[in-house]
Amino acid sequence: MRPQDMAFPTYREHGVLYCRGIDPIMPLGLFRGVDQGGWDPIEMKFAMYTIVIGAQTLHATGYAMGIAMDGKVGTEDGEAVIAYFGDGASSQGDVNEAFVWSSVFHAPVVFFCQNNQYAISEPLERQTRVPLYQRAHGFGFPGVRVDGNDVLASYAVTRAALDQARVGQGPTLIEAYTYRMGAHTTSDDPTRYRIASEVEAWQAKDPILRVRRFLEQQGLADQSFFGEVDEQARVEAVKLRERVLELPDPAPVTMFDHVFPNGSPEIDEEREQFTAYLSSFAGEVH
């Protein structure tokens, strides 16, 4: 991604968020439930986390149509858009509508499907009978499958697709073939629906380990470099954890903020009544 490119993430795109220069405390504020995230999607060129599965593909398509209309597409320095989603989302109607639209409007959007083979418990066979990248052909644009556990290959394919989009060559579907190592959520128990040997086979393909081995074998980094990186990550994680625990709860009255851009008499009235109600407890601890 170049600085001018726009990303439309799922709610798990923390890596892309980090690369866009957004403070990782921001999504944690959202997950902790003390605010809504807080980054400026337009300034950071990274849209809000989309909670409803697949909806961001249409936001991305509309955004791509908008920048095309504004003449920001069609040169080497043009703008491009990337939408991230998963294998489960590929079954959603709106994702397929995004494929139709981006195709017929020739929209500068890259669909990046992180196929980790499970939508909670539903395996890939429950989403598709053909490899997902092949679907793009039916919609009229190129689809490519990349080894999603190969960092450099994923980078190369994404870069090429974004460059195609920015010069006006239309959409691409990338299927990054990978595996969900952990549970879907803290309430999910994957041992109920998949076998341990499958997980073990994928452990051997760990993308972080692979890039590390590659750098070592090429002589591009040594032990002290990795030690430094590990230490930096450890310190960063401890700091982040402390910051999360210190996140303040929002003031109750802020629930009325930002419902409408220019305010609203009804909301103003509700806020007024609620403020009066709150102040009726003056002096009490609440």
- Please report, as ranges, the residues that interact with another protein according to CB under 8 A: 8, 35-43, 47-48, 50-52, 55, 58-67, 69-70, 93-94, 97-98, 100-101, 104-105, 257-262, 264-266
Report the length, in residues, of the chain: 286
For another protein, the closer CB: 41 or 168: 41
Of the residues 135, 166, 180, 271, only one is catalytic, namely: 180
The verdict on whether 234 is a catalytic residue reads no
Report the residue number, 104 or 181, with the smaller CB distance to another protein. Answer: 104
Q: Closest distance between another protein and the C-beta of residue 80, in Å?
A: 13
Please provide residue 171's backbone torsions phi and psi, each rounded to the nearest 5 degrees.
-80, 160
Q: Minimum distance between the CB of residue 72 and another protein, rounded to whole angstroms? A: 9
Residue 240: in which H helix or E strand, if any? Answer: helix 223-245
Residue 214 Cβ vs another protein, minimum distance, rounded to whole Å: 37
Of 4 and 232, which CB lies nearer to another protein in the complex structure?
4
State which residue, 105 or 202, has the beta carbon closest to another protein: 105
Catalytic residue (choose from 12, 14, 145, 184): 184
Q: Residue 110: in which H helix or E strand, if any?
A: strand 109-115
- For the bound state, the minimum distance from the C-beta of residue 17 to another protein, rounded and expressed in Å, comes to 14
Out of 193, 234, 241, 277, the active site residue is 193
Amino acid, res. 98: A
DSSP β-bridge partners for residue 7: 46, 82
Q: Is the dihedral of CA 186, 190, 191, 197 positive or negative?
A: negative
Say if CB 45 and CB 19 are below 8 A apart: no
Confirm whether 84 is a catalytic residue: no
137 a catalytic residue? no
Instruction: Using CB atoms within 10 Å of the CB of residue 146, give its burial: 0 to 12 exposed, 13 to 18 middle, 19+ buried.
Output: buried
CB atoms within 10 A of CB 228: 11
List active site positions: 180, 184, 193
